[in-house]
């Protein structure tokens, strides 16, 4: 077993709070918990919650998951919590307006494969999978009033995004306050030692500490991690923005998307997603800055590493060869799926049918953004019809092809 000093070095790597006092408190408390757990011969209980706002986990979700895996590898108990009830409310943590609310049916459909995708990072045999609908769903109105009595409106209005909306006179809906309350109750019901989250989640995590303490529990240690930017290099990675990389995307797709990120975003990806050590990352950055390493080569190192993590080394080598052939040599891939056209078909319907778009609305967006081509020619209208005349190559973005026959 690793020493407490060794465990602290691993577990505090990459942790950020934006507040030095909070960092010192959490670091001290984590060290104390680790020492107590070692003395008592028990693991720490560590969890992170994931709301199913979309059906696919992205590389952004894996940032806290990788921290969970570090705890797992050190022998601690990890809980992968599916926010099947909190997803009905919508997390306002990083939003300047209320999230659209989902139905229970939508949440159930989106979350059905969440755990399976998470096992690309977490150890299947050492992960406890829970759903917060199990304890949040049965709460009565009286229970909610009792829980709410531990917080003040002023505490919530001090939250940065709420404060901004309040100052501008923008609406803050009452149900948005419930989100932090519900997440805090998760910590109570799971009786956790540690909760992991993104830096934008600090308010929610600290609410969990307060509620635990108010209800006679020992308050959890909170560890927050930086946000991963999307493939646009600026906004947080998310499916609704289309700037995401899914954990279960094919190797060629994943490799190509990593290669599309702006150069300035590479450090964010190296730090939060890769298996490179900090010294190696610093050396790569130095060589790029001094001209000793081309940014394209650095990005290919990153892409190889990430595809290897979520697939395997052979898949990464194949994806790199595919990328060089298609994008550097401007050739079509040697292998691509084939779809037989039964008759004339609208381009929007076709994109969904062949799997190049998850929905008709997304297909229309792809066309409007100039991301769809037929035999290299830009598709400019959602009314375009594709007819079965000769072999045609349907292309979405720079990496996805289907041969139409």
Tokens 């720079």, residue located = 398
Give the position of tokens 């450090």: 267
Six-digit token string for 114: 């969440």
Helix segments in 274-380, DSSP class H: 278-290, 295-310, 313-323, 347-353, 360-368
**Separation CA 323–CA 319 (nearest Å):** 6
Tracing tokens 């300035």 back to the chain, one arrives at: 264
Beta strands per DSSP E along 135-291: 194-198, 221-225
3 state SS of 47: strand
Name 4's Cβ contacts closer than 8 Å, sequence gap at least 6.
Answer: 31, 34, 35, 38
Q: CA 115, 117, 122, 123 torsion: positive or negative? A: positive
Under 8 Å between Cβ of 396 and 366: yes
Predicted confidence at residue 91, as pLDDT, reads 62
What is the DSSP code (8-state) at residue 201? G
- From CA 322, how far away is CA 198, in angstroms rounded? 34
Contact 360, 287 (CB under 8 A): no
For residue 244, CA distances in Å to 81, 232, 237 come to 22, 9, 5
Q: Give all domains of the chain, ordered by start, each with its CATH number.
A: 4-225 (3.40.50.620), 249-328 (1.10.240.10), 338-404 (3.10.290.10)
Query: Residue 87 is encoded by which pair of tokens?
Result: 């997803």
Position 97 scores a pLDDT of: 45
pTM above 0.85, yes or no: no
**pLDDT tens series, the chain, 405 aa:** 789 999 999 999 999 988 899 999 999 999 999 999 999 999 999 999 999 888 889 999 999 999 999 999 999 999 999 999 988 876 655 444 445 677 888 888 888 888 899 999 999 999 999 999 999 999 999 999 999 999 988 888 877 777 788 788 887 778 788 888 999 999 999 999 999 999 988 888 999 999 999 999 999 999 999 999 999 998 999 887 889 999 999 999 999 999 999 999 999 999 999 999 999 999 999 999 988 888 889 999 999 999 999 999 999 999 999 888 777 666 677 778 899 888 889 999 999 999 999 899 889 988 988 889 887 778 888 998 888 766 788 989 877 889 888
Instruction: Give residues with Cβ within 8 angstroms of 12, minimum separation 6.
Output: 27, 30, 223
């Amino acid at each position: 077993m690793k020493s407490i000093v060794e465990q602290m070095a691993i577990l505090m790597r990459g942790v950020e709070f934006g507040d030095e006092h909070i960092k010192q408190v959490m670091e001290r408390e984590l060290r104390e918990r680790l020492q107590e757990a070692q003395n008592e011969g028990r693991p720490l209980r560590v969890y992170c919650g994931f709301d199913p706002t979309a059906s696919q986990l992205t590389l952004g979700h894996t940032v806290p998951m990788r921290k969970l895996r570090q705890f797992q590898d050190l022998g601690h108990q990890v809980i992968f919590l599916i926010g099947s009830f909190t997803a009905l409310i919508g997390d306002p943590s990083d939003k300047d307006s209320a999230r659209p609310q989902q139905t229970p049916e939508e949440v159930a459909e989106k979350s059905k494969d969440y755990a399976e995708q998470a096992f690309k990072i977490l150890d299947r045999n050492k992960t406890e999978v829970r759903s917060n609908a199990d304890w949040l769903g049965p709460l009565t109105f009286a229970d909610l009033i009792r829980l709410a009595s531990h917080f003040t409106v002023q505490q919530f209005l001090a939250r940065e995004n709420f404060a901004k909306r309040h100052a501008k006179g923008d609406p803050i809906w009452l149900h948005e306050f419930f989100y932090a309350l519900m997440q805090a109750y998760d910590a109570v019901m799971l009786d956790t030692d540690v909760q992991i989250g993104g830096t934008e989640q600090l308010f929610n995590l600290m609410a969990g500490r307060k509620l635990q303490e108010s209800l006679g529990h020992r308050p959890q240690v909170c560890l927050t991690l930086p946000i991963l930017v999307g493939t646009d290099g600026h906004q947080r990675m998310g499916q609704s923005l289309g700037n995401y990389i899914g954990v279960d995307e094919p190797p060629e797709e994943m490799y190509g998307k990593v290669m599309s990120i702006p150069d300035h975003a590479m450090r964010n990806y190296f730090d939060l997603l890769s298996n490179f050590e900090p010294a190696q990352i610093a050396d790569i950055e130095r060589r790029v800055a001094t001209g000793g390493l081309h940014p394209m080569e650095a990005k290919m190192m990153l892409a190889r590493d990430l595809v290897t993590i979520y697939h395997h080394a052979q898949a990464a080598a194949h994806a790199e060869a595919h990328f060089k052939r298609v994008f550097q040599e401007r050739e079509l891939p040697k292998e691509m799926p084939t779809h037989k056209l039964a008759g004339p078909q609208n381009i929007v319907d076709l994109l969904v049918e062949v799997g190049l778009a998850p929905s008709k609305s997304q297909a229309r967006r792809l066309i409007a953004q100039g991301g769809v081509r037929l035999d290299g020619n830009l598709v400019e209208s959602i009314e375009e019809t594709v007819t079965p005349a000769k072999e045609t190559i349907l292309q979405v973005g720079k990496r996805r092809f289907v041969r139409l026959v």
